[in-house]
Amino acid sequence: MAIFTGAAVAIITPFHEDGSINYKAFEELIDYQIANGTDAIVVCGTTGEASTMSHEEHLDVIRYCVKYVNHRVPVIGGTGSNCTETAIYLSQEAEKAGVDGILVVSPYYNKATQKGLYEHFKMVADSVNVPMILYNIQGRTGVNIAPETIAKLIHDVKNIVGVKEASGNISQVAKIMALCGDECDLYSGNDDQIVPLLSLGGKGVISVLSHVAPQATHDICEKFFKGDVKGAADLQLKLIPLIDALFCEVNPIPVKTACNLMGFAAGPMRRPLTTMEPANQERLKKEMQAFGCKLK
């Protein structure tokens, strides 16, 4: 059984102006997401700015999220690292915290070979008992997890259950599913490709869009699963201008700006991320209003 089906939000981490974590705002975001149809929460991923957190902060946020969500929806902890030992440590601690699964990105900067990727993911998965989702995002990491490597991991390691595919390469996704079939829980890592990946056997999306349109993102998946493919596609296409605005600067700059515009105390980004350019912020605000997002 999949950890979740539908739309999971890759949730931001709110910060106070001094850079410390704003847990009260975090609670408000979690409650809003659950109340508006989000099917799962991915905490401390790319969008959560985990790469700027200390290990202690990273794990504190995961623990807090698990405790506050309190089984209302599944919680998946982002525990990847470019160091295998660090990824093992974070994964083991996340498991102790009670996560329903872990999301492990391919090691960045090192540019491991496919053999190295296989060994890295296998060692991390073997160190825990919770299910693990691979995260393939070459644009951030500099390395692509080949379909053959994903298939071998899915076949060889019982608790590697799926992949968040953010390559944008539909042909690659098709090959993954041709090699893995029903053994692989496929999730879109791109909000503009939810329906295409669902059509190839996907189970849902791990979404940035869900921050500002949680019910609509959920509904894309639900419509598709219920056989209303045209309805899902129409909603996907309607959301494209908003999705484009949410990615007109590097994630999570626009989505954190969007959350602040909606009245959530998302706070600033941690350096090296910086504030959104005024013209891009106006574009984002315009598309949010056009879709019906309530701004403060």
The answer to whether residue 135 is catalytic is: yes
The answer to whether residue 285 is catalytic is: no
Mean residue pLDDT across the chain: 97
For residues 106 and 135, the answer to whether their CB atoms sit within 8 Å is yes
pLDDT at 296 over 90: no
For residues 40 and 3, the answer to whether their CB atoms sit within 8 Å is yes
pLDDT at 145 over 90: yes
Read off the pLDDT of residues 225-268 as tens digits, 9 standing for 90 and up.
999 999 999 999 999 999 999 999 999 999 999 999 999 999 99
- Class of the CATH domain delimited by 6-228: alpha beta
For residues 81 and 102, the answer to whether their CB atoms sit within 8 Å is no
pTM of the model: 0.96
Q: Domain locations in the chain? A: 6-228
CA angle 116, 122, 128 (to 5 degrees): 145
Select from 141, 207, 137 the least CA-distant residue to 172.
137
Mean pLDDT of 175-188: 96
Active-site pick, 118, 152, 164, 223? 164
Active-site pick, 118, 135, 187, 203? 135
pLDDT at 103 over 90: yes
